[in-house]
Amino acid sequence: MILGIDFDNTLVQYDEIFFKVALEKNIIPSSLDKRKSAVRDYLNNRGQQDLFTTLQGEIYGKRILEAHASKDALFTLKQLKNEGIDIKIISHKSKYPLMGVNYDLHEAAMSWLEKNLYFSNDGLNLKKDNVFFNTSKSKKIEKIISLGCQYFVDDLPEILNLLPSNIKRILYYPYENKTKNPFLIMSNWKQLPNLITNI
């Protein structure tokens, strides 16, 4: 069985670091919700889309090691890997930011995975050639299909919508308010084994 997992906002959580860095730069009020989407919407609604894009490049590059891992993700994936499930990390990620300093975002993401024990014998012990960063959404979809993923976990419904129906699609949505969509919902990582075995 092959399980594909998205990276950004799925394995790694940016909510707190986006709020922290935006506050450091004094570009948001401290009363704002501590969510990446709240920072994005606040800046976009004020016509400061470029500022958000630059901020995102800095966080995905220089500051990524400060971003938290999704709770219980590593624990759950170790459990599934021990049961023989083949795990692939497949992400849509540009090589460099669209604006701002020219950080290598692929290298930064690999450093985050290394720091968070994804390649360690004490952690997931995933081979680095099971990580795929794709520079476009279409290439990500092609990679998911070509690798033969039977399940895919992503935080974006728009990505899951592009996958063929023979791939079981799981939406990672860790927030309280419920979202309506045709996918299986995973609000926390400990639910994943049951979602897979009950399909």
Measured CA distances, 66 to 10, 102, 112, 148, 172 (Å)? 16, 19, 9, 33, 21
- Over residues 103-156, the pLDDT tens digits come to 999 999 999 999 999 999 999 999 999 999 999 999 999 999 999 999 999 999
- Over residues 29-61, the pLDDT tens digits come to 999 999 999 999 999 999 999 999 999 999 999
Say how many C-beta atoms besides its own lie within 10 A of residue 154's C-beta: 27
Q: What is the mean pLDDT of the segment spanning 145-168? A: 96
Confidence at residue 98, expressed as pLDDT on a 0 to 100 scale: 86
For the chain, give every domain's residue range. 2-13+68-197, 15-65
Q: Where does 2-13+68-197 sit in CATH, by number?
A: 3.40.50.1000
What percent of the chain shows pLDDT beyond 70? Answer: 97
Q: In what order do the strands lie in the sheet with 168-172?
A: 131-134, 86-92, 2-5, 151-154, 168-172, 184-186
pLDDT at 99 exceeding the cut of 90 = no
Residue 54: partners with Cβ closer than 8 Å, 6 or more residues away: 97, 99, 100
Confidence at residue 56, expressed as pLDDT on a 0 to 100 scale: 94
Confidence at residue 65, expressed as pLDDT on a 0 to 100 scale: 97
What percent of the chain shows pLDDT beyond 90? Answer: 90
Label residue 199 by pLDDT band (50, 70, 90): very low
